[in-house]
Each structure stands twice: as structure tokens, then as C-alpha cells.
Amino acid sequence: MMTALVKCGKVGVLQIQIRCGYKLFLFATRQYYEKPVPVVQRLIKAGLTQQDNAKLYPLHLESCSFNQSFSKAGVFFNTYSLDENGNYQNAEYGGKTVTPVLDFRDVLDKGYSMLQSFVSEDVCDSRHEEEYDVERWKALYRLCEFLLDKGYHETALKNKEATECPEELLERTETFSAALLTSHLLTKLMPGDNYVISSDFSDKPLLCPCHDNCGMLMKYGSTGLGFERLWYGHRDIVLSSCNSNVMIFNAKSEELLKSQEGTTVEKMEKSEGVEDKLNLPDCDPQIISQTITFSLYQSGKSHFSLIPTIVLTPSNFCVYFYDHVNDVLLRMGSPEPLWEADDECKFSMSAILKLWMVINYSSFKPVLSDNQISRLQCSANFHNLLAKEGLSIKELSKRIKCKSKFKSDCHFDLTKRKNDVVDLIM
């Protein structure tokens, strides 16, 4: 954002840092581009008005085996389903149950509200500059830049001329998927360009392997995170500029998740009951262990507790959340397609807006309402499983570190030597 605004020569960097309200934002963008705002507004409005039934399902952990890497994590779970008396029942229960499902939009209401204001015609006159967070405006500016170059990034990822397999490069290997999606999607939706792709990937391309030969130098390095008494391993992509965690799978949407049905928390009392059974893939324990670990790691760094992890494939994405304070684990009920159903070479605007908000979660602060917390508090059962092992959230959170190597069979006593946390820091 700052670079672009300096180019226009109209607004100084210091002034942007101090005043980043809507009028100033429009002024700066209009000076840099030729009438960009109407074009971007139309695209965002299209994404907001697309049919969107994205739901978040609560998960209940039945048991966990710790002291494992993410890829070998022993996590057994079901959806959090309640009987007619409001008691949790697992998948073996023979009666009818309801699953208190949340709307994705409710959890990221700040992001959706900002976009709605941006596309409304009278927003300049109805908002005050002090209402806006500087980091949110940086994120919005990056979204606008991406949308103005959307066609370029689509072409870089998919070869439209190869009608039989336009996504050949994108789906070649997980390394290619990580490099391409980082270069032409993830980093374009966040302020700053600091990221690291795990050096554990094999056959790493030095430059972005896109169809356009953009020449972007790929950044690889250590992405290790965890604590040996809990879970540990190397994350696929770390978006350092916004503290986001991304996992890459080279899989089709139907292999990633199965579509679920449920009822919203607000309508739960009126529902006659919806039977819900999950058929989850083998990668879910890996995703859940990493989601929880990352959320605990962020506990001392964020003023909010609902932390997301993004699971991305060449064709779709999914979002998991863990609230380490209220012990709530959420997962999108079905994968969100990255591409339009009627044109596989064009981004779905609804998906782009969701990804943008989740990538910049530290600015838009996903949150559960008081009503949702009252219904779902401790539904994940993770705090209880830790207590049975003599562990605590507070102590674990202090021990989770970014490291390049982990001792797979360490046995630390968290009840002693509280000052030895420094021994685990590289």
C-alpha cells in the first residue's frame, strides 16, 4: 500500500499512517489509477451478492495422543451434536441430534461490514475517519490492487489455451501448488510481502513457475512450530506479514471434505433436529493438531482468541478455527471453490473475499457472539483432555515455539522448573 501511494506523489507515507480514512483512501487510489474504484466496487459487490451458504461446524475431540508430529497426530473426534435435552452425543447415538452451526459471515462480521460500506454509494458521507483501523485499510488497498490485476493472476495460474488441462502446472506437485498460490494469490491479498514456504518441500523451484514467467524469487526456510509434549512439525506456508498459517494439499475438493448439513445456533431451538454424521479424510487430524497448536502459539500475541488456519488446494480452500479461551473448534462444512463453476479459469469473488478476510484475520478479528459462546463453550473438549494428562493451556502456550528441529521423544514436566522455558528457545 505504502509503495503505491508514494508512487502517486499526492499523499505522504507519514500522512497515510496518521490518517487512513475512507475519503483519503479513495483520493489516493484515484490519483494512482484511472477510475479504479467503480471497477473494484463492482467486483466486490458481485462477491458479496453471490449465493453463499458457508457454515462453520463445531468439532468435539473424543481423544488425543500427544508427543506426536502434526502428520502423525492421534486425534479422534466427531461433530459436536446435541440431543433433545441439549447434551452432547457422539456418532454412535441412535436418536436425532442437532448440530449448532454458525454462519461464516457472523464470525467475520467486521470484514463483511467494511466491504459493504466500501461498495455503498454514500459511505464517504456517512463514516468518520476515526472509525477506521489503519491495518484494515492497508488490507483493503491490497485487495483493490489484486482485483485490478485479477485477470493477470488468473492467467499466471491457469493456461487458458490448454483447454484439456489448464491447471496442469498448478496441480503438478504440492511444491508447485505452494509456490504458485503464494506468488499469485496469498501474498497479493495481504499488506507486506513477508512469507516463508517450508524448505521441507522437495523439488523446490527457485523462481515462481507460473505461465507468465513473472520471475518472482521464492522464499524457503524453516517453518517449524510446536512443543514436543503437545504436537509439532513444519507448516507449509507462513504469511509473516499477517501472522497467518496455511496448509497446502494437492487434492480435489471432494477428497478434502464432505459436505455437511446443519442448523444455525440462532435457529437451533426451533429445529426438529438434523442427524449429522461426518465422513472425514485422513488429513483432518493433521489439520486439527496444527490449528490448535497455532492458536495456542498466538494466545500471547493477540487480543482475541478465535484463530484460523487455512487449508488450500489448487481448486478450493477450507478454514479451521480454534478459540483457545472458550475451547471451541470450528471447521467449514464444505470446501469453498476457488474458481467459478462456469469458468474454471476465473476466480470466484466470494472465495477471494473470504480468503482475504481470513488471511488478514488479525485486522478483522473473528469473534463469537455471547450467544454462540454460551452454546459452544468447551464444546471442543480439548481443555478437558489436557487436564487428564496433567497439562494446562497456560503452560503449553508458553512452551510452543518456532523451531527448526524437534526432539520426538522428549518428556518434560510442566509442573517443575517454570523458568526453564528459555531452554526450549533456539
- Do 40 and 54 sit in the same domain of this protein? yes
CA gap 385, 258 in Å, rounded: 27
Q: Which of 153-162, 250-259, 266-275, 329-338 has the lowest mean pLDDT?
A: 266-275
- Do 28 and 155 sit in the same domain of this protein? no
- Do 271 and 142 sit in the same domain of this protein? yes
Dihedrals phi, psi of 366, to nearest 5 degrees:
-60, 140
- Do 278 and 364 sit in the same domain of this protein? yes
Examine the pLDDT at 325 and tell me if it is beyond 80.
Answer: yes
Angle at which helix 36-49 crosses helix 134-148, to 10 degrees, equals 100
- Do 16 and 95 sit in the same domain of this protein? no
* pLDDT classification of 18: cutoffs 50, 70, 90: very low
Q: Which of 42-46, 334-338, 408-412 has the lowest mean pLDDT?
A: 408-412
Cα 274 to chain centroid, rounded: 28
pLDDT tens-digit profile of 278-302? 334 567 899 999 999 999 999 878 7
- Do 89 and 10 sit in the same domain of this protein? no
Of all residues in the chain, what percent are helix, strand and coil, respectively (each to 5)? 40, 20, 40
Q: Which of 148-157, 166-175, 328-337 has the lowest mean pLDDT?
A: 166-175
- Do 12 and 143 sit in the same domain of this protein? no
- Do 9 and 74 sit in the same domain of this protein? no
CA gap 372, 301 in Å, rounded: 24
- Do 3 and 69 sit in the same domain of this protein? no
In the chain, how many domains are there?
A: 2
Chain mean pLDDT for the chain: 80
Q: Which of 80-84, 128-132, 325-329 has the lowest mean pLDDT?
A: 128-132
Residue with grid cell 500475541, as numbered in its chain: 301
* pLDDT classification of 161: cutoffs 50, 70, 90: low
The strand pair at 68-69 and 231-234 is best described as parallel
Residue 217 DSSP label: B
The torsion of the CA quartet 241, 245, 250, 254, rounded to 10 degrees, works out to -130
CA gap 175, 414 in Å, rounded: 37
- Do 123 and 26 sit in the same domain of this protein? no
pLDDT tens-digit profile of 385-426? 999 999 989 889 999 999 999 886 444 444 333 332 222 222
Task: Name the nearest CA neighbour of 158 among 144, 139, 174, 172.
Answer: 172
Residue 66 DSSP label: -
Tally of CA atoms within 13 A in the half-sphere of 171 that contains its CB:
13
Examine the pLDDT at 16 and tell me if it is beyond 50.
Answer: no
Tell me the three cell numbers of residue 290: 496444527
Percentage of the chain exceeding pLDDT 70? 75
Tell me the residue range of the domain where 111 lies: 35-424
- Do 19 and 120 sit in the same domain of this protein? no
- Tell me if 145 sits within 8 A of 33, measured CB to CB: no
- Tell me if 307 sits within 8 A of 362, measured CB to CB: no
Task: Output the pLDDT for position 302.
Answer: 77
Task: Output the pLDDT for position 250.
Answer: 74
pLDDT tens-digit profile of 220-254? 999 999 999 999 999 999 999 888 999 988 754 44
- Do 81 and 144 sit in the same domain of this protein? yes
Examine the pLDDT at 173 and tell me if it is beyond 50.
Answer: yes
